[in-house]
Amino acid sequence: MVKISAQYLGEKRVQLIHAPSGRELQTDAPRDNNGRGESFSPTDLVAAGLASCALTVMAIAAEKEGLSLEGASAEVTKHMAAQPRRISRLDLLIRLPHDLTTADRQRLEVIARTCPVAESLPAQLELNMLFAD
């Protein structure tokens, strides 16, 4: 269990505090939804969470096998739908280190595709997860 506190600051901004670490993060409504777009929006955090989760679980698995994922990266693109306003599609591109074997890459891809965030997304959200060198 992890507790995260949220406080509305006004002007469509929210201050979040991660209780275990005390780290803070602010969100802002996006420009296309009456905000300034000066920070992550709540839906941006979902997209960022997917990228971070996929990289993290792959790194955990790789470490157990004596592999390094240092230098791996991800880029996620979020697409919004209007009615109702929601995330409609996430396109995630993961770049893995060149020195992994084909078998290692395949195992890590399965792990990324089943990361906790991906498994928590609703079925109507289209998720495209691609892998590259």
Q: Kindly report whether the global pTM for this prediction surpasses the value 0.85.
A: yes
50: left (phi > 0), else alpha (psi -120 to 50), else beta? alpha
Q: What would the pLDDT profile of 90-132 be if each residue is shown by its tens digit?
A: 999 999 999 999 999 999 999 999 999 999 999 999 999 999 9
How big is the chain by its Cα radius of gyration, in Å? 17
Structure confidence at residue 133 (pLDDT)? 85
Q: Are residues 23 and 49 in the same domain?
A: no
Q: Does 53 lie in the same domain as 88?
A: yes
pLDDT digits (tens, 9 = 90+) for 25-50: 999 999 999 999 999 999 999 999 99
Q: Average pLDDT for residues 48-62, to the nearest whole number?
A: 98
The Cα–Cα gap between 127 and 50 comes to 10
Q: Residue 97 is part of a domain; what is its CATH number?
A: 3.30.300.20
Cβ within 8 Å of residue 93, ≥6 positions away? 74, 75, 76, 130, 131, 132
